[in-house]
Amino acid sequence: MIKIVTWNINSVRLRIEMVLDFLQKTNPDILCLQEIKTVNDTFPFQAFKDAGYSYMAVRGMKSYNGVAIISRLPFADEFALDFVGKQDCRHIAVRLDDGCEIHNFYVPAGGDIPDINENPKFAHKLDFVDEMRVWFANNRDIQQKMVLVGDLNIAPLPEDVWSHKQLLNVVSHTPIEVEKLSVMRDEFGWCDAVRHHYPARDSDGNEVKLYSWWSYRARDWQASNKGRRLDHIWLTPPLLPVLQQADIASLWRGAEKPSDHVPITVTLDY
């Protein structure tokens, strides 16, 4: 069994004690973090080693962005990609000894205005997703064992947001973002592991709402429950038969000094 977690931690140094508590309680094999918000020199390597995670691939930058993969399993290789001509530390990948690749992404949030002419950040986000699609199409085969995780900053389904109608013009759920992410997923053949395990509709046809992010602006995140599923784990077809479990650990949003995102876990039986 391999248990893989993705979590936008919104500063690993600020929340290292919470992360260590999570590791102790849930015992994953691999933890992928986004928005670590620290340079490599100040990343808490020793704290993770002391917790039993000896293998780390880290790509940090001061105060912003940054991604990391922390693991009990050794890496045969690690590498990082840049998109849209920016070295802004939004991707890191490792290859395990059996050849399985794990790609950890932090897709740009895209600002507040869903217009590429008025908002360069939104244009950057759309271009980033396009380049992700092209890179996998040109450099990888769908029959390879691969896991894509991260804060993709897009909630693709109506059941992935608290109100589909009210968020159609809100960055993260606009039709153009949803279309680009869906094309990237479907053209290559990725499987959305969480929605494979928890379909958007139950057997009676009722919505199955899933969220991984709740704004800090809500006074009581649990009472308002205005969330979005921005964090994802995708699998290539060779890994789909061994998918055993998928979980969104929403209770960690209620931790002391929490991230606005919560951990997502998949368990693979291989």
pLDDT mean over 164-180? 98
The pLDDT, as a whole number, for residue 218 is 87
pLDDT above 90 for 266: yes
Give the HSE-up count for residue 80: Cα atoms under 13 Å, Cβ half-sphere: 17
The DSSP symbol for 210 reads -
Rounded to 5 degrees, φ, ψ at 147 are -125, 125
pLDDT mean over 235-252? 97
- 151: confidence class by pLDDT, cuts 50, 70, 90: very high
**Would you say the pTM of this structure is higher than 0.85?**
yes
Q: Are strands 146-151 and 101-106 parallel, antiparallel or unpaired?
A: parallel
DSSP-assigned letters across all residues of 45-102? HHHHHHTT--EEEEE--SSS--EEEEESSPEEEEE---BTTB----EEEEEETTS-EE
The amino acid present at 239, given as its one-letter code, is L
- 235: confidence class by pLDDT, cuts 50, 70, 90: very high
Using CA atoms, how far residue 31 sits from 6, 27, 76, 113, in Å, is 6, 10, 17, 32
pLDDT above 90 for 270: no
Q: What percent of the chain clears pLDDT 90, i.e. is strictly above it?
A: 99
Output the six-digit token pair for 216: 């800090």
